Structure formats: C-alpha cells, structure tokens
Amino acid sequence: MADFWRRFRRNRGAVVGLVILLLVCAVAAFASVIFPGSPWDMATAPFTPPGEDGMLLGSDSLGRDVAAGIAHGARISLMVGAVSTLASLCIGVSLGALAGYLGGWVDDAVMRFTEFFQTIPSFVFAILLVAIFTPTITSVVFAIAVVSWPPVARMVRAEFLSLRSREFVQAAEVLGKSRLAIVVTDILPNALSPIVVLSSLMVASAILLESALSFLGLGDPNLMTWGFLIGSGRSVIRLAWWMSVFPGLAIFLTVLALNLVGEGLSDALNPRLARKRGGAA
Amino acid sequence: MELSRLPGFLFRRGVKAALVILAIVVCNFFLIHAAPGDPASVIAGQSGAADERFLAQLRQQFGLDQPLYVQLWIYLKGVLTLDLGFSHRQQQPVWTLIAERLPATLLLTGAAFAFALAAGITLGTMAARRVGTWADSLITTLALTFYATPLFWVGLMLVLLFSVWLEWLPSFGMMSVGVEMHGIAVVLDVASHLILPALTLGLFYLAVYARLTRATMLEVADQDFVKTARAKGVPEGQVVRRHVLRNALLPVITFAGIQAGQLIGGSILVETVFAWPGIGRLAFDALLARDYAVLLGVFFCTSVMVVLLNLATDLLYAVVDPRVEVEG
C-alpha cells in the first residue's frame, strides 16, 4: 500500500487531481451546510452579477443562487457518475469474464453483442432511452450504464483470455475448484488493476454524459444538476454569462481531476508501463 | 491484401453490416413499444375525441391489433422502403424531415472531422518530435483540457467570446436571415456560420487524435527500421515524414473512421447550441415535443451512417495496408 502511494505521488498531476476531487466531494457532502435551503428557492433579484448582493457566483433568471445550484448539483453529478459506473462494471465484467473464460461460441456471441453496442452511436441511443423511459434519475443512470459497458467487457475478456491458461488457474482446476470460484477468487483479483484505472475514466465520462443529457432537458426535473444550470443559462448568455460559465467550470474541474487521478492510478498499478511512459514523456 | 480476395472480404463485411442494421431496426421496434402511449392514443388525444370505439378503429387501421411478430414484419418491410413512420406532430413522413436536414449535418460533421484530423495529426506529430519539451507538455495539456470539457459548454464559451464580446462571428443558424445574396457571398456567409460549430465539434476529437498520433508515433519511432534509417544517415525530417509518420498514421485514420460515427452524436449538442438546422436540431425539437417517431428515425439514420462509415474504413484499411489479414 505504501509502495502504491509512493508511486501515485510521483505523478504530480495525479496528486493535484486527487486534491480537486476531494474538494468537489467535500462541497457535495456539505452542500446543505454551506447553502442551507433548497437551491430552487429565490435568493435575490434575478440576474445579480457575481460578487454583488452576497451572491458569490451571481444569480439566475429567477433569482436563484448559482453557487448553491453548483454545490447541490455536485451531489447528483458524483452520484450519477459513481452509480452508473458501478452498473456498467457489473454488466461489462460479467460479460467479459463469461466470454474470456468460457471461450468458444459463448465468446463469439458475447463479442457480437458487444460490437453491436459499440457500433450504434452511444449518445443518440442514451437520449432515446431516457426520452422513452421518461427522465428520472434512474433512467439516466440506466441509459449511461447501457451505453458505457462495452469497453469494460472487451478489456476484461482480454485479461481473462491471457490469465485463463496460466499455471495458477490450471492448479485451481486440478484441485477441483468450481468454475465460478476460479473466476471470482483466482482470475478476477488478478485482472483488477486495469479495471480500477478504467473505472476512474468511466466516472469522468459518465459525468460528461449526464451533463449533456440534462443540458438537453433530459435530467430529472426534480434535481438540480450542472447540465441543467448551463442549459437554462444558454438562452440568456448575452445577459448573464455567469449562469453558464461557472457550472461548466465545475464540470471541467471534476472531469479533469478524475482523468488525472486515472493516470496516476495507472502509473501506480502498472509500474512497468509507467516507467516506459516516463522515459518517453 | 491480394486483390483476388477482395470480393469475398467485401461480401462478408457487407453481410455483417446488414445484420447490424437489422438488429438496430428490431431494437427500434421494441423501443417504440416501450414508449409511453401507442400511436393510436396519441392521435386520438390530438383529435380530442378518444372514446373506446375510435381507439379500436385507429388500432386496426395501424395494425396495432395484430400479433407482435406480424407488426415487426410490417415495420421491417416499411424500413426497407425508407418508410420510417409518420410524424403526427409535424404532419410529415419522418424520412422527408430527415432528408431535408441531412445535408446541413453532413456539412457540419464533415468540416469538423477534417479540421480535427488535420490539426490533431499536426499537433500530435509536433508533440512526438519534441518529447519532454514545453511544446510537448503544452500540447498534452491542451489535449487533456479538451478531453475534460463538455462539448456544449465549449460551444457556449466560443459564442460568448467571438459573438457576444468580440462580435466577429454569428452565433446561430446556417445563413443570415433576410439578406438577399448570390454566388460566392452565400458560400462565405455559410462558412462564417460554420466556423464556430465546426470548431466546437472538432476540438474534442482533435484532442483524441493528437494523443493517439503522439502515442503511435512514439511506438513506431522505437522500431528497428527507423533506427536503420537513422543509421543510414537519412535526414531527421525525412525520417519523421517518410518512416515514422507514414506508419503511425494508419491506426490513427482507422480509429478516426470508427470514431466518426460518434461525431454525429456530438452534433446533436452542437446543433442545439448553435441552432444549426441539421438532424441533431431535429432530434432536439422532437425531444421537446416527445415526438418518438422522429427520434427513432434519427437514431436509425445515424446508426446506418456509422455502419457505412465503419465499412468504408475497413475497406480503406484492407486496400491500403497489404499486411491486413482477411478474416470474418
């Protein structure tokens, strides 16, 4: 563990990313302490510029505090990012493990299925799913999970293919362990580090996808989100630039932080690769 | 690849593409059934009279009282003849609506793709040549930045900068409204409207292509034939252009071809921000009106475009790279 942390720390960007990420998490956790009351309530006159009237980041067309909206939106963004990534990991890992371990026609079938999902334009498909199952937080998470599992399945399959024929797996087979036990206790732990790296990037893209959906008006109508804030600032951008600038910065910082952390994780978990990259970069 | 094996390869890829399209149609069909309210109740709702007998009559008229597989068969036959259904909100066939908007989307995505590919490869090459210097870090940082920025927000920021504050470029639409123009003036007008949306759509992919070009170039630069070229005394510029770049470009172009489909998805956001009259904007309007027929039509058309693009990329790759293996 100490070794892991030492390698992670060597990547300066990753440390900066981790700090930003922790800050965003803190804002999300303490949103109702810093900004008590509902972010939907009117707090001041409409279109108050940033810094005036106690509004740190200005107010929107209905006099709502933009800063409060961003703080409360952080919860939704992080939650959607985490839950939809977990869901797509479940789909991707099980399908990838199935294909990689069993091989043969199962592998063929699963890979065709995966290819199909990789071929269809994912964003259009996500829009369609949310629109048809009516926009709620559940349907948004579901849609994001459905369009983002294929890379996981492909990667897990590749890992399983290469691990399946290794000696420790053969040993477990000879010992008479059940297939399920071998997959879960022998192969999966060895395939974990690329899954961890990939999932930090998936949380980042899930947050981007969620913001895009709610920008188009496909967010849960009862929840304040970053995408919704930008969407409502779009038509009044000439009048109130702060309404769309600040929520966008929040998305940018969070996604950037997640990407940086992902790179750090990859360096720390695959030291050989990191040194090679370090030599080149 | 030997040319004699090309027809078989073409045939197999064609069959595969057709199967994917078939799967999309079936998927579409079931999504229609999952959508709230069947078409009959939608029409009945619009006409204001919704007694049971009228509904039953409508259902019979649209074949909704048939078993599911019969309905699927009817739907499949319809799609094959480009009948993607009827938009009851706009009182027009879906295909007509899409065909009307398609050229604008193709212009936008085409421009964005060309820009992203050209600029991405240039920047990636520069970064790979100056590994470790400030130029490399700058380009890597820029790539990371565009990677982390929501597409629609970049669009809004560009509008804010170039249209609201600097007043250099128009912020919405495809042509100036209410101005009589001819010939070259029209082209210039459309071009000035095209710059911001194409830039917005292209920046993200620029970052992707720049990173990829850098990575593949560094990989190729390690190989023996490059060392040999250097040892022979080939000038550095020529090594980069003729040996490294030429071999690094192939994976980049293949990847770009596969990614091109995702550009179409991104264009929904960009067209919404810039009020660009393409199928993305059509999809957004359909979304607001919950016009599922149009949404499904847009999904079908974009999927078909992606499949065709992938097919074209496969072909290009097989023809350009003789090492490519011919298999299923």
Looking at mean pLDDT, say which of A8-17, A141-150, B122-131 comes out highest. A141-150
Higher per-residue confidence, B35 vs B24: B24
Distance CA B200, CA B152 (A): 8
pLDDT averaged over every residue in chain B: 78
**Chain A residues bordering chain B (beta-carbon distance below 8 Å):** 115-116, 119-125, 127-129, 131-134, 204, 208, 211-212, 215-218, 227, 230, 233-234, 237-238, 241, 244-245, 248, 251-252, 255-256, 259-260, 280-281
CA distance B303 to chain A (A): 5
First and final C-alpha spacing in chain A:
26
Q: What is the tens place of the pLDDT at every residue in B209-263?
A: 888 888 888 887 777 887 888 888 788 777 877 777 777 777 787 777 777 777 8
Structure token digits, residue A102: 């069993």
**In the 8-state DSSP scheme, what is residue B4?**
G
Least CA distance to A121: which residue of chain B?
B262
What was the pLDDT predicted at A93? Answer: 92
Q: Is the CB of B240 inside 8 Å of chain A's CB atoms? A: no
Least CA distance to A240: which residue of chain B?
B160
Provide mean pLDDT across the span A235-253. Answer: 84
Give A-chain residues touching B296 at CB under 8 angstroms.
Answer: 128
Is residue A274 very low, low, confident or very high in pLDDT (cuts 50, 70, 90)? very low
For residue A28, is pLDDT > 90? no
| pLDDT-above-90 percentage for chain A | 16
Q: What is the tens place of the pLDDT at every residue in B93-130?
A: 888 888 888 888 888 888 888 898 888 888 888 888 77
Total Cβ atoms within 10 A of residue B135: 14
| pLDDT-above-70 percentage for chain B | 86
Top residue of B24, B153, B285, B291 to mutate, by most chain A CBs within 10 Å, is B153
What was the pLDDT predicted at B46? Answer: 62
Q: Which of A58-67, B31-40, B196-205 is predicted with the least confidence, judged by mean pLDDT? A: B31-40
* Interface contact B153-A244, CB threshold 8 A: yes
Considering only the beta carbons, identify the residue of B23, B31, B131 that sits closest to A280.
B131
Q: What is the tens place of the pLDDT at every residue in B50-63?
A: 677 777 777 777 66
Total Cβ atoms within 10 A of residue B322: 8
Give A-chain residues touching B273 at CB under 8 angstroms.
Answer: 234
Least CA distance to B20: which residue of chain A?
A116
Q: What is the tens place of the pLDDT at every residue in A86-110?
A: 999 999 999 999 898 888 898 889 9
Least CA distance to A213: which residue of chain B?
B269
CA distance A172 to chain B (A): 35
- Distances A247 to A215, B95, B209 between C-alpha atoms, Å: 11, 37, 27
Token pair 């619009």 is at which residue?
Answer: B46
Q: What is the tens place of the pLDDT at every residue in B44-91?
A: 666 666 677 777 777 777 666 677 777 778 778 777 777 777 777 777
Q: Is the CB of B275 inside 8 Å of chain A's CB atoms? A: no
- Global pTM reads 0.84
What was the pLDDT predicted at A90? Answer: 93
Nearest 5°: phi and psi at A149?
-80, -25
CA distance A110 to chain B (A): 14
* Interface contact B262-A204, CB threshold 8 A: no
* Interface contact A119-B31, CB threshold 8 A: no
CA distance A259 to chain B (A): 8
Is residue A277 very low, low, confident or very high in pLDDT (cuts 50, 70, 90)? very low
| pLDDT-above-90 percentage for chain B | 0
What was the pLDDT predicted at B38? Answer: 64
In the beta sheet, which residues pair with residue B35? none
* Interface contact B302-A124, CB threshold 8 A: yes
What was the pLDDT predicted at A141? Answer: 93
Provide mean pLDDT across the span A246-263. Answer: 89
Give A-chain residues touching B36 at CB under 8 angstroms.
Answer: 132, 134
* Interface contact B302-A280, CB threshold 8 A: no
Distance CA B170, CA B194 (A): 9
Is residue A280 very low, low, confident or very high in pLDDT (cuts 50, 70, 90)? very low
What was the pLDDT predicted at A207? Answer: 92
Considering only the beta carbons, identify the residue of A115, A128, A215 that sits closest to B152.
A215
Higher per-residue confidence, B69 vs A202: A202
In the beta sheet, which residues pair with residue B86? B93
Q: Is the CB of B302 inside 8 Å of chain A's CB atoms? A: yes
